[in-house]
Amino acid sequence: MIIIRNRIIFFVISALLALGALGALFTYGLQAGTDFTGGSLAEVRYEGARPETSMLTKQLESAGFHGFSLRESGDNGYTLRAATLTDEQRGNLASILSSETSVANISQLSEVGPTIGVELRNKAYVAVGLVLLCILLFIAFAFRKVSKPISSWVYGLIALVTLGFDVLIPLGFFAVLGHYVGVQVDTLFVTAILTILGFSIHDTIVVFDRTRENLRINEEKGRREDFAETTGRSINQTFVRSINTSLTVFLTLVALYILGPVSTEYFALTLLVGIIAGTYSSIFLATPLLVVVERWRANK
């Protein structure tokens, strides 16, 4: 009940978080990765100490590379981002990135043509839209028997609002990371966002499901209860399980982030941020919004 009674406070917190994320998104923007922009990305490792950046930059320039970026990665490697390579550049890449004392091993190289990039980007937008639409339809369908005091479409729409919040937070987070650490947004990031959409709806469904059940029991017993009261009770009853279901996923993701493969490091981080946002929003945003809509309808 504390949550419903103090919903204004949580609305303010949620709004501040969302505005912060939006602000970061508009100020910094996301750093689109090679997957989306086209171009090439190489991971290089050295047996011994890595050569100086300035030296490699000179060697790259004389090999005809323009507008590339060379960043240190790990203890003894570099990440090179550049335009699509010519045959010659590709063939000599290892020697261009080597010095007399340290030999470069190319551990990963990917090149993406511009059409593939554009296609993937458009597909990502469509995929996110499609997931949102399907979830809206599904919730409206699953809750179709609950029409009093508010229609099942409202449950679906509110679920969408909280999903928007769950996605906005990691987007803002990665805008900040992109600006300060140069982290780029790639296909895996989009995968993480889609996974967040699918997962963070779980907790919202659990709370809504309990509200649905409590409304039914009230009706069966002919009990009159304020809607805010019913929803508040539902949150209290499901609070522990919302936290615990997220906690188990949180535990595995922390393991994946800290110990897992380098290639899925930021993927795990995106999921972590999204799942924290999702748990928060399903408890502190979804049901309070339900109450607001109900009040607003009642006053009309």
Partner 1 sequence: MANKRFLAFIIFIFGAALGWYIFNGQMAGLHPFKLGLDLSGGTQLVYRADLSAIPDADASDSMEALRDTIERRVNLFGVAEPIVQTQKAGAFAGEPEERLLIELPGVTDTQRAIALIGETPVLEFRMLRENAEIPENASTSTIAAAFEDAAITGKHLESAQLQFQGGPGMANEPVVVLNFNTEGAEIFERMTRENVGRYFGIFLDGQPISVPVIREAIPGGTAVISGGFAPDEAKELARNLNYGALPVPIELISTQTVAGTLGDEAVRDGIFAGLVGVGAVALFMLLWYRLPGLIASLALLIYIIVTLALFQVIPVTLTAAGIAAFILSIGMAVDANVLIFERMREELASGKSTHDAIQEGFARAWLSIRDSNISSMITAVILFWFGTSLIKGFALVFGLGVLVSMLTAISVSRTFLLALGVNAKGSFSKFLFGSGTRI
Residue (132 or 292) nearer to partner 1, CB: 132
Nearest distance, CB of residue 20 and partner 1, angstroms = 26
Residue (19 or 217) nearer to partner 1, CB: 217
Strand partners, 44: 78, 106
Please work out, in degrees rounded to the nearest 5, the angle formed at the alpha carbon of residue 284 by the alpha carbons of 280 and 289. 130
Nearest distance, CB of residue 11 and partner 1, angstroms = 25
Nearest distance, CB of residue 148 and partner 1, angstroms = 19
Could you tell me which residues come within 8 angstroms of residue 112 by beta carbon, excluding any fewer than 6 positions away? 34, 35, 37, 38, 39, 40, 84
Nearest distance, CB of residue 212 and partner 1, angstroms = 8
* DSSP annotation string for 278-292: HHHHIIIIIHHHHHH
Residue (32 or 127) nearer to partner 1, CB: 127
Nearest distance, CB of residue 195 and partner 1, angstroms = 6
- Helices marked H in the chain: 2-5, 7-27, 34-37, 53-62, 87-96, 114-142, 152-181, 187-221, 227-259, 265-281, 287-299
Residue (28 or 153) nearer to partner 1, CB: 153
Residue (23 or 91) nearer to partner 1, CB: 91
